[in-house]
Each structure stands twice: as structure tokens, then as C-alpha cells.
């Protein structure tokens, strides 16, 4: 497929069924592209340089530290899966009613990129005070991070408001590295996302690394079928030795690629690794433990899918847009446009 994706018709992978991009964009403009009250180009009049400003900040940050790009993709996931895409994960120093903030939950361990969002917000406040929400900046930054890692370029609807609540326990709903496939499917369904979305969004692990902290139980404290604990028996012996050589018992800080052998390239290698037993973390491996997700993984793992579909890059972009529309706040009573992303107005 072409290197970037600018337009598509969801549910149609056959090239013959796609409208030319220019025609599609004209149709969308006439229809007022929206998801609820979200709209592509929402800031085109109120803050014309909003999207380019966010892209510039992300590009500069990624040039200085390429590891921040996968972190920004992860940041959107962590925001949208807790109370929806409302910027609640950005709040620091206590949440509503003096409760601990959402970001303090252990499930956000290792979360990075909050300062990038704040940096973009500072520039936007200078350009267009009180206009661009932090929640939208998170989604735009993730979109740009995908493109800057070699993934597809795509449009995202904007117009979210920032939420007014950030509570520690709300983040308990996040997927966990110990979750099996049933738990993962349930958590995705709770956000209106299906098995295909689960596979596609997990495939964001095509870029980035993880800490040995998240492998310790899988390598050394995994519950065994016959009782006792040891290593996950589904890990191929050679790969298990490789992982143990990188992550010794008690080593929480060493980092290793999530997509073995292709950690710097946005591609479908992560899905082939999952299919072949080389998933690094347990939740990735779990995708090959259920018929529905196995079928999705296999559909993108074959070489012919690049020519005849399904088209991974386009479908990944569509899944990111769907996730970015989860639980959005658009009513002024429930939301606001923060002046500073890390605290309520």
C-alpha cells in the first residue's frame, strides 16, 4: 500500500470500491465531517495553526529523542481508556476533591510525554488563548507520532473538551500485562472497540520498547498448569533463553524491543512475531489465544495482504480514530479548555 493514508471508506478494502481522495474530501467537507460534535478541521478558523503547531513540537521532540514518539502513542491509549479521551491523565498534584490523580495509578507506570503535551499547549495558548483543549493535543500528538515513526498519516476529528475529574482508582480499568484474552476483549468492548481494534491497537508495539519490569512474572513467576510457578510455557525455549539473558531476575529497568528484530520500523512484523510465538509481553501473546483475534492477526501477517488487503496501515489509522472518539467530552458543563494541561482551571 502507499506510504501514507489520507482518506478511506471504512469497511471497503478493495481499491476498486474507493472514491478518489479529492472527491471523498469534497464529499466529507459538504457533510461536515464529525463524530458526535467532533469535526475534522475543528480549529481551522478559531486557531488555524493548531495542528501544525502540535506537529512541529512532536517533530522537534522526536528528533531530540526518538523514543518519545512511541511514548506519545501510548499516552493517547492511557488517556482514552480511562474516562474517555478527556485529558484526565495529564492532571498532576491531586485530582477532584483532593483525591490522588489518575496518573499516580501504578497502571500508568513508565508513562512519558506529558511534558510534550504541555509544551504544545504553552505555544497554543500564546497563539489562541483558551481555544485548543489538552485532550485534542494528546490525540493530535499521537497521530503525528505515528506518522513520524513511518506509519500512516491520517486526519483526526477534534473538538474535545478537557474533563474535570481525575481520580486514581479510575485507572484500574486499564488493560494489564497479566490480562488474558477474555479480560482484554472485555476492556476493549467496554470502550466500544472490538477484536479487530484490539489487534490493531496492540500492533502499535511495532515501535518502541518495554522495561523488564513488565516481563518479570512471565519469565520467573508465571502460574503453571500443574501448580507452582516458573516461566510461561508458551514461550519457545530459544526465545525464553533470549529474554532471560536480557532480563535477569529482579531487573526492572533494562529495556528491550517490543517488536523483536524490527523495533524501529512501523510494519506488520509485530503481528508475525505474535503469530510465531515471539511476543515479548503477555498481552501481545494473548492475541494468539482466541479464534477471533487469531484470525485478525493472520489476516495482516501474510505477504499478500499488502496487495489484496486487508490493508494494515489504513485499518490501523481507522482504529486510532475510533479510539480517539471514546468517551469524548463536548458539553461545557462536563468539560473545559484548560489553561495548563496539568491542572484544572
Question: What residue ranges do the domains of the chain occupy?
Answer: 34-174+324-336, 181-320
Per-residue pLDDT for 190 more than 50?
yes
Q: Give 98's pLDDT tier (boundaries 50, 70, 90).
A: low
Report the pLDDT value the prediction gives residue 205, as an integer from 0 to 100.
97
Q: Give 18's pLDDT tier (boundaries 50, 70, 90).
A: very low
Report the pLDDT value the prediction gives residue 323, as an integer from 0 to 100.
98
Output the nine-digit C-alpha cell for 39: 469535526
Q: Residue ranges for the binding site for heme b?
A: 205
CA distance 82 to 79: 6
Mean pLDDT of 261-289: 94
Per-residue pLDDT for 99 more than 70?
no
Output the nine-digit C-alpha cell for 299: 489476516
Parallel/antiparallel/unpaired status of strands 209-211 and 34-35:
unpaired
- Give the domain 181-320 fold: Peroxidase; domain 2 (1.10.420)
**Among 21-25, 248-252, 294-298, which stretch is predicted with the lowest mean pLDDT?**
21-25
Q: Residue ranges for the binding site for substrate?
A: 175
Q: What's the mean pLDDT when you consider all of the chain?
A: 88
The catalytic residue positions are 78
pTM of structure: 0.86
Output the nine-digit C-alpha cell for 291: 479464534
Report the pLDDT value the prediction gives residue 47, as an integer from 0 to 100.
98
Per-residue pLDDT for 35 more than 80?
no
CATH number given to 34-174+324-336? 1.10.520.10
Report the pLDDT value the prediction gives residue 19, as an integer from 0 to 100.
35
Judge if 34-174+324-336 and 181-320 fold alike in CATH terms.
no
Output the nine-digit C-alpha cell for 109: 507506570
Q: Residue ranges for the binding site for Ca(2+)?
A: 79, 82, 84, 86, 88, 206, 259, 267
Per-residue pLDDT for 154 more than 50?
yes
How far lies 190's CA from each of 59, 181, 187, in Å? 33, 14, 5
Amino acid at each position: 500500500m502507499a506510504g501514507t493514508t489520507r482518506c478511506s471508506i471504512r469497511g471497503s478494502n478493495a481499491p476498486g470500491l474507493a472514491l478518489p481522495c479529492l472527491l471523498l474530501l469534497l464529499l466529507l467537507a459538504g457533510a461536515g465531517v464529525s463524530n458526535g460534535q467532533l469535526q475534522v478541521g475543528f480549529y481551522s478558523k478559531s486557531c488555524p495553526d493548531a495542528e501544525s503547531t502540535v506537529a512541529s513540537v512532536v517533530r522537534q521532540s522526536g528528533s531530540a529523542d526518538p523514543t518519545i514518539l512511541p511514548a506519545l502513542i501510548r499516552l493517547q491509549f492511557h488517556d482514552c481508556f480511562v474516562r474517555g479521551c478527556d485529558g484526565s491523565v495529564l492532571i498532576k498534584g491531586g485530582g477532584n476533591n483532593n483525591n490522588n490523580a489518575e496518573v499516580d495509578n501504578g497502571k500508568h507506570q513508565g508513562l512519558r510525554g506529558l511534558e510534550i503535551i504541555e509544551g504544545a499547549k504553552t505555544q497554543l495558548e500564546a497563539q489562541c488563548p483558551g481555544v485548543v483543549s489538552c485532550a485534542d493535543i494528546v490525540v493530535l500528538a499521537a497521530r503525528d507520532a505515528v506518522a513520524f515513526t513511518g506509519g500512516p498519516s491520517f486526519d483526526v476529528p477534534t473538538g474535545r473538551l478537557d474533563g474535570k475529574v481525575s481520580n486514581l482508582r479510575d485507572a484500574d480499568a486499564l488493560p494489564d500485562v497479566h490480562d488474558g484474552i477474555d479480560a482484554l476483549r472485555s476492556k476493549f468492548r467496554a470502550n466500544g472497540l472490538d477484536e479487530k481494534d484490539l489487534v490493531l491497537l496492540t500492533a502499535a508495539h511495532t515501535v518502541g520498547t518495554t522495561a523488564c519490569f513488565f516481563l518479570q512474572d512471565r519469565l520467573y513467576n508465571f502460574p503453571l498448569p500443574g501448580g507452582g510457578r516458573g516461566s510461561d510455557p508458551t514461550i519457545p525455549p530459544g526465545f525464553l533463553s533470549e529474554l532471560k539473558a536480557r532480563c535477569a531476575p529482579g531487573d526492572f529497568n533494562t529495556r528491550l524491543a517490543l517488536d523483536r528484530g524490527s523495533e524501529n520500523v512501523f510494519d506488520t512484523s509485530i503481528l508475525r512475531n505474535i503469530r510465531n510465538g515471539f511476543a515479548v509481553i503477555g498481552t501481545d501473546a494473548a492475541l494468539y489465544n482466541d479464534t477471533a483475534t487469531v484470525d485478525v492477526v493472520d489476516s495482516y501477517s501474510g505477504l499478500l495482504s499488502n496487495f489484496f488487503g486487508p490493508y494494515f496501515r489504513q485499518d490501523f489509522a481507522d482504529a486510532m480514530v475510533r479510539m480517539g472518539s471514546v468517551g469524548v467530552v463536548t458539553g461545557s458543563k462536563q468539560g473545559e479548555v484548560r489553561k495548563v494541561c496539568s491542572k484544572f482551571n
